[in-house]
Amino acid sequence: MADQPLHADHALMAKIADGDHRAFALLYNRYWPLLYLHAYRMLRDEKAAEDAVQETFTWFWKNAPLITFKGSVSSYLYGAIRHHVLNQIRHEKVKGAYFDEIAAYITAGHYQVDEVVRYNELVEAIESEIDRMPPRMREIFNLSRKHLHSHKEIAELLGISESTVREQIKRALRQLRVVVNDKSYLLLIAMQLLR
């Protein structure tokens, strides 16, 4: 029974990807109030929250054919709203006075329900980007971050210099930085990614 909403959302998503406006309207009406409340809790501004939800749904509609889900549609939408709001903050679209309040909100751990979802979405995005790396870079990065080998061990294992290992890891992290684009996430990559 609990799987029905998940299944229904995925069925709607398939129709939306095919350009079905009615399916999009159903999804929009189902999640707009919840996403608005989520955005409002972060922004404390009704107009900014409405704009964030509207812009997120607009982006979602335009990109629906390219979006794939491993989890739930609702988790994806919550993550998209959060990402959009954080981008607004970065680009100073929200009054500066709210930044400290939002940072405190995030630090205080008010995302208890979403922490696992956020982490899993992050790991998926990182894994996807790692898969796009050139084979040698991917191999070196995985030996370093997944298998916890030192630069020296990787160099010996692959018959290359330590400086080559260091350079490949730096390039890999730069490539991930473009995708992740968030310093706290980059810290996660550097410290505990894919344990």
Query: Which domains are present in the chain?
Result: 3-113 (1.10.1740.10), 116-192 (1.10.10.10)
Task: Look up residue 66 and give its DSSP letter.
Answer: G
Asked whether the predicted pLDDT for residue 41 surpasses 60, the reply is yes
* Secondary structure (H, E, C), 127-164: HHHHHHCCHHHHHHHHHHHCCCCCHHHHHHHHCCCHHH
What distance lies between CA 2 and its chain's CA centroid? 25
Asked whether the predicted pLDDT for residue 42 surpasses 90, the reply is no
Q: How crowded is residue 16: how many other Cβ atoms within 10 Å of its Cβ?
A: 24
Cα–Cα distance, 190 to 8 (Å, whole number): 38
Asked whether the predicted pLDDT for residue 183 surpasses 80, the reply is no
Cα–Cα distance, 33 to 3 (Å, whole number): 22
| pLDDT greater at residue 117 or residue 84 | 84
What is the pLDDT averaged over residues 24-45? Answer: 85
Rg of the chain on CA atoms, in Å: 20
pLDDT of residue 195: 35
Q: How crowded is residue 161: how many other Cβ atoms within 10 Å of its Cβ?
A: 11
The CA distances from residue 116 to 24, 59, 123, 153, in Å, are 27, 24, 11, 33
Label residues 66-81 b or e (16+ Cβ within 10 Å = b).
eeeeeeebbbbbbbbb
pTM above 0.75, yes or no: no
Asked whether the predicted pLDDT for residue 53 surpasses 80, the reply is yes
pLDDT tier at 6, thresholds 50, 70, 90: very low
